Structure 1
Amino acid sequence: MTMYFRFFLFFLTMSTLGAWAPAFGADQMTYDLGQAVARGLEANEGIKSVRQALNASKLGVKSARGAFGPSFNVKYGYTHYNEPSKIMGMQTSPQDQWLFGLNINQPLFVGFNILTTYQKSLLAEDQTKSQLNQAELGLILEIQTNFLNLLKARKNVQSAKDSLTRLQSHLKVIQAFYDVGLKPKLDVLQAEVDVASAEQDLLSRQNEVDTQEAKLNTLLNYSVNSEIAYVGELEYAPFSMTFEECLDLAYKHRPDLIIAEQSVEIARKDSKISASGLYPSVAADFDYSRQGDDPTVSGSKYQDSASAWQVALNMDWKVFEWGKTYYAYQQAEENALRLVSEYNKSKTDASYQVKSYFLNIQEAAKRIGVNKTGVEAARESYRMAEARYQAQVGTNTDVLDAQSSVTTSEANLNQALADYKQAVADLYYAMGQKNPALDIR
C-alpha cells in the first residue's frame, strides 16, 4: 500500500505542477516601437502575400531563361493498315508499323523576342521587390501611427486622471466650506457636475487606449484580446536633415517612383517584343527516327535500315499582315510614353509630399515649445486660483476655469508631441526610408 500511495502522491504532484506551469512560466510579451515593427514585418499576412509574389516572379525569370535552350520533342506511335502496300503484287511494307521520332529544335533568332522577354522577366522581378519594399514601408507607417496614437492616448488618460484628482480635491474643499456655511450649495453642485464629467472623460480616454492596443495586436498578427505590453514615450528630439537631403533620398529610394520607372522599362520591352514580328525567325532542327513492325522499332524485312536522321536550318518570315504587327508595336510605344508621363507626375507629387511633411515637422516642433510654456502657466494659474479660493478671495468659477485650462493645455501638448513624431514617420515613409524605431537624426 505504501508504494501505491507514494505513486499516487507523485502523480498528483506532477499533475498539479503541469496545470500551473503555464501560469508560472508565461511572461507578458513586451514590445517597444522598433520591436513591434519587426514583429509586424515578420508575421503580417499582407507582407507574406507580397513575398510569395516575389517567389513567383523569380520562377518567371527561370522560365524565361529556359527559352534560350533547345526544345526536345519525342513521339512514339503505332499504325495498322487494312491492306499492305504492294508493287507488282509484291508487299513492300509491313501491315503493322511502329514509329519512334526525336526532334531537337534550337531557336537562333526570333526577332529579339526571347532575349527581350527574359530581360522583361528580370525587370518584373525587380519591380516585385520594389512592391515588397513599398508594402513593408506602408506597414511600418501603419504600425508607427497606431503606436503613436496609443502613446498619446495613454498620456491623455494620465491627464484625465490628474484632472479628476484635482476636481475631486476641489470638491472636498467646497464641501467642507459648505458644511460650515461658508459656500453656497450651488458651488457644490457645480463641482459635482465637473467631477462626473471628468469621470466620463477618463472612461472615454481609457477606451481609446484599449482600442489602439487591439488594433496593434491585429497588425502584429495577434489576437485582439492578447495581453501585450507596448512600451514607449512621446519624446521630442530635433530633426536635423535639410529639405534638400530629404528630397534627394526620396528621388533615389521611394519605391513608388522606382516601380513607375520600372514600368516604363517593362513597357519598352513590350514594345520591342511587339516589333519582333517584323523580323524573320531562324531555327535549327535535328530529327532522328526509327521504325519497324514491332514495338522495338527494330526494322522489318521490307526495310534496309530501321533508322534515319536529318539536320535542317529554317527561316520563317511573315512579310505582310496588313499592319497587324506594326500597329501593335505603335500601340506599345504609346503606352510607354504614357507611363513616362505618369512617372514624371509621380515625381512631382513626391516632392510636394516631402515638402508637406517637412513643414509639418517644423510646425509641430514650434507647437511643442509653445504648449510646454502653456502647460507650466496653466498649472501655476490653477495653484493660484485654488489658493485664492481656500483663502476666501477667489471664486469657484476661477478654480474650475483654471483646471479646465490645465487639462486643455496638457491635451494640446500631447497632441503636438504626437503630431511631431507622426510627421517624422510620414516623412521617412515619403523618403522611402525604413526607420522602425523612429530614431530621429
Structure 2
Amino acid sequence: MPNIKRLKKPAAAIFAFGLLFMNATLAAAASPELSLDDSIALALKNSPAIKMANADKDKADGGLDAAKTGNLPTLSLGSTYAFQQSQPTLGEDHDFSNSLRLNWQLYSGGRVEGQIDQARKNLDLAGLDVKKTGQQVILDATTAYYNVLQARRMVAVNQETTDSLREHLKDVQVKYEAGVVAKADVLRSEVELANAEQNLTKAQNGYDLAVASLNNIMGVNANSEYALKDELAYAKYDHTFDESMEIAMKNRPDIAQADIGVNVAQDGVKIADSGRLPTIAMTGSTAWNDSVLPDNSNNWAVGLTANFNIFDAGLTKANVKQSQASLDKAREQAQQTRDSVQLEVRKNYLSMQEAEKRIETTNVAVDKAKEDLNIAREKYNAGVGINLDVIDAQVAFTQANTNYLQALYDYNVNKAKLNKAMGVNAGQ
C-alpha cells in the first residue's frame, strides 16, 4: 500500500500540471498577443476616416480626368424625324435628317490649362489628406494602446494595495485579539481596505473601458480580448528641439497642403484672367437626309472659330478681383498653418520633457515610499509604531506608483503627439 500511495502522488501532480498547461494554452488561444504595431496596423486597415479620405482622392482623380477633356475634341450625332399630314390629295410627308458635328477647342486663353493644373493640385491635396488622416489614426491607436497599458498597470497597483491592506488588517486583528491595540485600529484598517477595494473596482472598470476604446479604434469587435505584448517604458528621444522643428517644416502634410492651396489660388487668378483673351476652336460638320448612314450626297464643312469678348460688363474684372482675394487669403492661411505647426511642436516637445523629468523623480519616490512602508510595518509589528503610520505609508506608496505610471504615460503619449506634429509615424 505505501508503494501505491507514492505512485499516486506524482501521477496526480502530473495530471494537475497538465490541466494547468491546457488552461494556459486555451487562454493564450482565446487572447492573441497584440503589439503596438499590430494595433496601428489594424486601425489603419479598418479606419472609416482613411476609407473616406481615399474616396475623396478617387473623386479628385476623376476631377483631373474631367479637366483634361477640355483639350480633347468632342463629337456629337443628331437625328431628327418629322411626320406631317398634308392635304388628302397630297398624302403624308416623312422627313428624316441626320448630322454629325465635331468641336475641338484649340486655345482657351489659358482657362482649360488652369483648370487642369487646379485639378492636378487638388489630387495632390487629397493624397496629402490621406497621409494626414493616417497619421491621426496612428496617434489615436497609439494613445488608446498606452491607455490600456496604463489602466492594466493601475489595476495591478490597486490590487497590490488591496492585498497589502488585507494582510495588514489580519495583523491588526491578531493584535486586537491579544489586547495589544484598540478597536479603533481595526476599524480604521477596515475602512482603508474598503476604500482600496473600491479603487480597485474603479481601476478594473477603467481597464475595460480602455480596452473597448482600443477595439473601437482598431475596428474590431468590442468584446475582443488581446494579451498586450508591450509595457509602458521609457525610451530616450533622439532629436533636439531644433531638429524636431526642422523635420516638422519639411514633413508636415498641413504645410504642404497650405502651399498647394496657394498654388491653386494662383491658378484661379489665371483662369479668371483668361476671360480677357480670345478662344479658338476647330469645327466640322456633315449632314444627310432620308438614310441612316451618310451617302455620297451629304454636305460637310470644316472651319475655325475665334471668339473675343470686347465688352463683358466687367465680369472678368470682378472674377479676377475675387480670385485675387482668395489668393491673399490662401497666403495668410499658409502662414497661419506654419505658426500653428510650430506651436504644436513646441507644446508637445516641452510636455514630453516635463514628463521625462517626472519619470526620474517619481521613480526615486517609489523606492523611498516602499522602504518607508516596510519600516512602518516593522515598527508596528514590533509594537513601537502606530497604525496610522502604516496606513499613511501605504497611501504614499500607492500615490508614488500612480505618479510614476502617469509620468510614463504622459511621456510616451506626448512623444507620439510630437511625432504626429512632425509629420512622421510613431517610432521614426
TM-score scaled by structure 1? 0.87
Q: Aligned to 2:71, what secondary structure does the other structure show? A: coil
Aligned to 2:348: 357
| One of 395, 400, 409 as aligned partner of 1:404 | 395
- Is contact 1:145–1:422 with CA below 8 Å preserved after alignment? yes
Unaligned runs of 5+ in 2: 1-25
Structure 1 CA distance, aligned partners of 2:327 and 2:363?
54
Distance 2:353 2:177 in 1: 53
Distance apart, 1:64 and its partner CA: 1.4
Deviation (angstroms), 1:27: 4.4
Deviations 1:304-340 (A, max 9, x none): x621111110101121122111111111111111110
After superposition, where does 1:288-307 map in structure 2 within 5 Å? 288-292=286-290, 295=292, 298=295, 306-307=297-298
Matches within 5 A, 1:250-261: 250-261=248-259
The 5 A counterparts of 1:104-253 are 104-253=102-251
Give the number of equivalent residue pairs.
400
Q: Distance in 2 between matches of 1:155 and 1:262?
A: 46
Q: What SS does the corresponding residue of 1:67 show, helix, strand or coil?
A: helix
CA separation of 1:145 and 1:295: change in aligned 2, threshold 3 A: closer
Separation in structure 2 between the aligned mates of residue 25 and residue 346 of structure 1, nearest angstrom: 48
Higher deviation after alignment, 96-105 or 124-133: 96-105
Residue 305 of structure 2 corresponds to: 314
CA RMSD of aligned residues (A): 2.0
TM-aligned CA deviation for residue 29 of structure 1: 3.2
Distance 1:98 1:197 in 2: 95
CA shift in 2, pair 1:345/1:385, >3 Å: same
Q: Tell me what 2:405 maps to.
A: 414
Q: Which moved more, 1:254-263 or 1:280-289?
A: 254-263
Paired with 1:297 and 1:286, the residues of 2 have a C-alpha distance of: 15
SS of alignment partner, residue 415 of structure 2: helix
In the alignment, which of 88, 95, 98 is matched to residue 96 of structure 2? 98
Cα pair distance change 1:227/1:24, threshold 3 Å: closer
Q: Distance in 1 between matches of 2:367 and 2:27?
A: 45
Q: Does 1:79 align with 2:75?
A: no
- Which residue does 1:380 correspond to in 2? 371
Aligned residue for 1:432?
423
Shift of 1:245: 1.2
Runs of 4 or more consecutive aligned structure 1 residues displaced over 6 Å after TM superposition: 23-26
Separation in 1, partners of 2:347, 2:293 = 79
* Alignment check: 8 A CA contact 1:98 1:297 kept: no
| Residue identity matched to 1:129 | G
How far off its partner does 1:295 sit?
Answer: 4.9
User: Is the contact made by 1:257 and 1:343 (CA closer than 8 Å) also made in structure 2?
Assistant: yes
Identity %: 28
- In 2, the alpha carbon distance for the partners of 1:278 and 1:31 equals 63
Aligned to 2:381: 390
Mapped contact 1:100–1:289 kept (Cα < 8 A): yes
Relative to the length of structure 2, the TM-score reads: 0.89
Letter in 2 for 1:312: G
Residue segments in structure 1 that go unaligned for 5+ positions in a row: 1-22, 85-90, 299-304
SS at match of 2:33: strand
Find out whether 1:57 has 2:57 as its counterpart.
Answer: no
Return the letter of the residue paired with 2:170.
Answer: K
Note if contact 1:99-1:297 (Cα within 8 Å) is conserved in structure 2. Answer: no
